[in-house]
């Protein structure tokens, strides 16, 4: 079976788009690491009563680990908009490996994702405006700074998506 070649007419992404894609992949790490610490038994800024009330043990820890892992995987998909594996999917991907993704589908999915992320995660810019009685004052401040990078995820994904669309449109793909 032959491999699908990369499109040589597709312009390379600009440096800013590559940087933005990498930044989008990294903004989920601080909050994800913090959540992993919570599942490992560290109160990580919660009061003892607050930690117990949040249920970070048992199935609660599985949910938190799944949320953190899924978030990072989704953030890493942003790199596909600027890397060769976004032009031709790797062979190991079940059912679609070795094929070119439909640019319109990619653009719509990434654009919708950017919009949803922007709407949902923008609340973390206002973290300090709301009390968190289950947290210590220091924990409240630290958690706010760990979640603040998430505010940039949607806009970064949106910018990279626009660049992807423009490059694809330039070659008629």
- Write the pLDDT tens digit of every residue in 45-83: 999 998 888 888 888 889 999 999 999 999 999 999 999
Report the C-alpha gap between 147 and 110 in whole angstroms.
22
Contact by Cβ (8 Å): 120, 157: no
pTM: 0.88
Least confident segment among 16-25, 93-102, 121-130, 161-170: 93-102
CA angle 158, 161, 164 (to 5 degrees): 155
In this predicted model, what pLDDT tens digit does every residue of 97-116 receive, in sequence order? Answer: 888 888 999 999 999 999 99
Question: Of 15, 19, 69, 9, which Cα lies nearest the Cα of 39?
Answer: 69
Report the C-alpha gap between 88 and 37 in whole angstroms.
36
Contact by Cβ (8 Å): 11, 171: yes
Distances (CA, A) of 99 to 88, 159, 171: 5, 25, 18
């Amino acid at each position: 079976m032959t491999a699908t070649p990369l499109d040589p007419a597709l312009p390379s992404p600009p440096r800013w788009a590559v940087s933005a894609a990498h930044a989008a992949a990294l903004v989920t790490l601080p909050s994800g690491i913090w959540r992993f610490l919570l599942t490992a038994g560290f109160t990580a800024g919660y009061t003892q009563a607050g930690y117990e009330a949040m249920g970070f043990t048992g199935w609660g820890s599985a949910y938190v680990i799944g949320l953190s892992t899924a978030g990072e995987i989704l953030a890493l998909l942003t790199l596909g908009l600027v890397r060769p594996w976004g032009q031709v999917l790797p062979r190991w991907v079940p059912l679609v490996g070795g094929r070119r993704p439909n640019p319109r589908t990619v653009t719509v999915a990434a654009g919708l994702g950017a919009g949803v992320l922007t709407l949902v995660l923008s609340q973390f810019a206002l973290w300090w405006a709301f009390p968190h009685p289950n947290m210590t004052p220091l924990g409240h401040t630290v958690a706010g700074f760990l979640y603040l990078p998430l505010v940039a995820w949607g806009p970064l994904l949106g910018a990279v998506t626009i660049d992807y669309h423009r490059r694809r449109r330039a070659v008629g793909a």
